[in-house]
Amino acid sequence: MKKSLYLLILSFALTYCSTAQHLTEPVQPDTTIQQDVTTRSDSLQARSEYIRGITEFELKSYKSAMNHLTKAYVILPNDPAINYALADTYLKLDDMANAEYYSKQSVKLEPENKWYRLKLAQINQANGDLKNAEAQLQKILKLNPNDSDLLQHVANMQKQQDHYDAANQTLDRILKLNGDDPQIYYQKFLNFNKLGKPDSAVAVLEHIHMLDPDNMAAIQTLGEYYENMGKPKKAENLFRSALKDSPNEPELVLHLAQLYLNEARWDSAGSLLQKVIESQDVNTSQKQDVINQILQQSQKKGHPAVLDSLSGRLINAFLNANPDNATAHAMAAHYLLTKGNTDQAITELQTSAELDSTNEMVWQQLIQLQFSRQDYRQVIETGKKAVKSTPDNAFIQFAVGSAYMSQGNAQQAVPWLKKASTLPSRRSFKSIIFGALADAYSSTGDSTKADSSYSQEIDIDQTNDNALNNYAYFLARQGKRLDDARIMALKALSIAPNSSAYLDTAGWVYFKLGKYDKARDYILKSVKNSTPDAEVMEHLGDVYQKLNDMDNARYWWKKAFEKDSTRTYLKDKITD
């Protein structure tokens, strides 16, 4: 206990006294009041204040401790124990200047005291003065040359100063005192590694392996060094030997398998890895790590084709051994997607979701695949299952709402999209959600809420060209704020100048503004850029009508009707 140490040190108190002021910056004690001899009563008072000070220190009442210790110091300023206690207290109060001052005083008063110098070294180190911190430790070592703990402190200090050779010499002293210790050798290895001395580093690792042949970390590191030094055979022999004792150690298996892969020994690598996957002694997470590493390698550009079949073999083995493991089915889906087998991938994802309904990533991937196939009914069905266990996933809510919109059911889409808009998501995605919600409101005829949602979409992301276009088109259809609509439509076009949809929007805004020549130019460009839909062709017919070119007007209305026969009102326009 620190308390008993302080009491022991107190017995060495000196008898001279003086007063001192304690400022933020340390100063020499004020000796205007001084006695040649401290009375017995004064000594007892100093002892009492000292004991109360260290008691408060132990109770972590450091300011109170400082007050009591200062009173003791006023009576016995040359007592090393009191100076030491004050240094420790100021250190706790983060007053480094006073901590260093009183620590130096304690060392000056009793230079051979190990604990005083250790405290000064600690304060020097805290101040970033590693050179003086090490100097204090070296002075203690002269008095205590066989102190292993102290030598370890010195080695650490030398390492912090990048004095790796000196640190290794100090570590050698510890080894000489205590004999072989793998931990000390490992520190030497790290130092040699920092010095860029691979041969010395390997020699130390080999010695560690000899001392502790079951140390997997040392085996793996040594094997990696052999590989990096162009000695794959030595690495292979090391790993094979280690695997005799630990046949199911996944990291060793992976290292050895990687050696085989590097040397194009595919069958050897495959057999080794499959053995691990089928083993009952290897836990599931380790098996997953093995498969993931092979999958990652098989996806690298220019990888050998044999890695694809190896990945498939391992996944099949894993699935056969773990048919009720959700992650196994998700990994199988990932592999199948890389092979372009979407149907089977969807089946595996469905199985994974059934086994673990809390995995949001599996639900999202499944819904994305279903959406990409325009299977909106399935998206809605899957989404409704998913939200039972993942109700706060913005993407799933958005996907269901979007599926309803794709079915033409805006009324059903609104609550899903509205919920999605309230959930956490990236700003860019949040903007898209509000855009979809605005489209849904617009389709239900709620123009006020549509306007508000479009506005929120733009506020969130003013560079969202799709949002700018949709809002501009909405305003044009409403015949409101047409100047704002024009600005947004042109901004969208500045981002995507060849978009047929954006060109049509700009043309329709100009139509609403009564600028029919410009309207015609934009919509014609839209028609030339891609196969137009019925609405674009109808727009072009309307523009030609305003330009009194009825032949072209009827031509485009007819084409619009041929594209979409539900636009029966166009018959009247065509025959007029």
Residue 35 is predicted with a pLDDT of 43
The domain limits of the chain are: 1-144
pTM, 2 dp = 0.59
Torsion sign across C-alpha atoms 4, 9, 12, 14: negative
At 20-33, the pLDDT tens digits run: 333 334 544 443 44
Comparing CA positions, the residue from 135, 74, 128 lying closest to residue 104 is: 135
The residue with greater pLDDT, 31 or 96, is: 96
Contacts 24+ apart (CB under 8 A), 182-189: 182/208, 182/211, 182/212, 182/215, 182/218, 185/211, 186/218, 187/155, 187/159, 189/221
Question: Looking at residues 274-297, what average pLDDT do you find?
Answer: 80
Residue position matching structure tokens 């109770």: 59
| For residues 288-304, average pLDDT | 78
Closest CA to 395 of 426, 358, 373, 370: 426
pLDDT digits (tens, 9 = 90+) for 433-466: 999 999 999 999 999 999 999 899 998 988 889 9
Taking Cα atoms as reference points, which of 13, 11, 31 lies closest to residue 21? 31
What integer best gives the mean pLDDT of the chain? 88
For residue 280, count CB atoms less than 10 angstroms from its CB and return exposed for 0-12, middle for 13-18, buried for 19 or more. exposed
For 347-378, how does the pLDDT look when each residue is reduced to its tens digit (9 = 90+)?
999 999 999 999 999 999 999 999 999 999 99
pLDDT at 13: 34
CA distances, 382 to each of 337, 368, 378, 437, 541 (Å): 19, 11, 6, 21, 43
Instruction: Tell me if residue 302 falls in helix, strand or coil.
Output: coil
Instruction: Locate 7 and state its tokens.
Output: 């009491």
**Contacts for 112 with CB less than 8 Å, ≥ 6 apart:** 143
What is the pLDDT at residue 31? 37
The closest alpha carbon to 566, from 535, 529, 532, belongs to 535
Spell out a b/e string for 65-97, using b for 16 or more CB atoms within 10 Å of the CB, else e: bbbbbbbbbbbbbbbbbbbbbbbbbbbeeebee
Give the residue from 396, 395, 401, 399 showing the smallest Cα distance to 418: 401
Q: What is the pLDDT of residue 38?
A: 58
DSSP label at residue 17: E
* Residue predicted with more confidence, 303 or 73: 73
Confidence of residue 257 (pLDDT cuts 50, 70, 90): confident
pLDDT tens for each residue of 397-421: 999 999 999 999 999 999 999 999 9
**Amino acid 1: pLDDT:** 40
CATH class as words, domain 1-144: mainly alpha
Chain-centre distance for alpha carbon 544: 58
pLDDT at 332 over 50: yes
Q: Is 9 a residue whose pLDDT tops 50?
A: no
281 vs 353, residue with greater confidence:
353
Say if residue 17's pLDDT is above 50.
no
| Cα dihedral sign, 47-52-55-60 | negative
**Is the pLDDT assigned to residue 75 strictly greater than 50?**
yes
Contacts 24+ apart (CB under 8 A), 135-144: 136/107, 140/114, 143/112, 143/114, 144/114
What is the distance between the alpha carbons of residues 298 and 309, in angstroms, rounded to a whole number?
A: 9
Mean pLDDT of 127-135: 91
The Cα 328–Cα 325 span in angstroms is 5
Mean pLDDT of 197-217: 91
Residue 573: is its pLDDT beyond 60? yes
Query: Could you identify the residue written with the tokens 């043309």?
Result: 507
* Cα gap 423→353, rounded to integer Å: 22
For the cut 70, the answer to whether the pLDDT of residue 182 exceeds it is yes
